[in-house]
Amino acid sequence: MPPVGQPVKRPGPPGLLGRTYLPSILKGMWITLRHMFRPKVTMQYPEERWQVPENYRGLPALVRDDQGRVKCVACFLCEYVCPPKAIHIEAQEIDTGVEKGPRVFDINMLRCIMCGYCEEVCPEQAIFLTPEYTTVGLSRKEMIYDKERLLKMGGTRTDPIKKWSRLTRSGAQAPGMTGAGRDAAR
């Protein structure tokens, strides 16, 4: 790069051969020929999928615990920290008496920047960034993933906290989500 303030050196007018464009054409063909024999790096997507590294941060998803319970307790922390405000939560009481749960849990994937803050901040390990990196849809509405879709994406994760199970053993509170609350919280 020329120093600041110095005029840029322009090439002079082409000679007789340059005006035929032959050197440029041959140079271009030589570059093409060289690349024809190099290993191909282009991936035939979507038939071929990129194998993401283990720590890849893709789309966020909600998870259930090993007993099929929705782990999110609608504490709103992830909604609060989410930089682009992609998360929308509405809470509801669930009939365990222990916690509340999400009635609505939407993530706008058009806004999500896959930063991982929601995963970092979640006290229940209820939201994780998955290796999924494709988000396609025909409308903006389709790109807002609701609770059911997020839970389907996230699947089940073994719960290292087991808070509700601990509470059961101590006899403080029955943890199982039953009846309408359970159905609604799922």
CB of 9 to ligand SF4, least distance (A): 46
In single-letter form, the type of residue at position 55 comes to N
Q: By the 8 A CB rule, do 105 and 72 touch?
A: yes
E strands of 56-136, at which residues? 60-62, 87-93, 100-108, 127-129
**Cβ nearer to ligand SF4, comparing 115 with 174:** 115
**Cβ nearer to ligand SF4, comparing 22 with 142:** 142
CB of 183 to ligand SF4, least distance (A): 18
Residues 6+ apart with CB under 8 A from 104: 88, 89, 90, 146, 147
Residues that bind ligand SF4 (CB under 6 A): 60, 72-78, 82-84, 86-87, 89, 107, 112-118, 121-122, 124, 126-127
CB of 94 to ligand SF4, least distance (A): 13
Q: What is the DSSP string of 14-37?
A: --TTGGGTHHHHHHHHHHHHHHHT
**Cβ nearer to ligand SF4, comparing 74 with 94:** 74
CB of 168 to ligand SF4, least distance (A): 20
26-30 LR contacts (CB < 8 Å, sep 24+): none
**Cβ nearer to ligand SF4, comparing 127 with 151:** 127
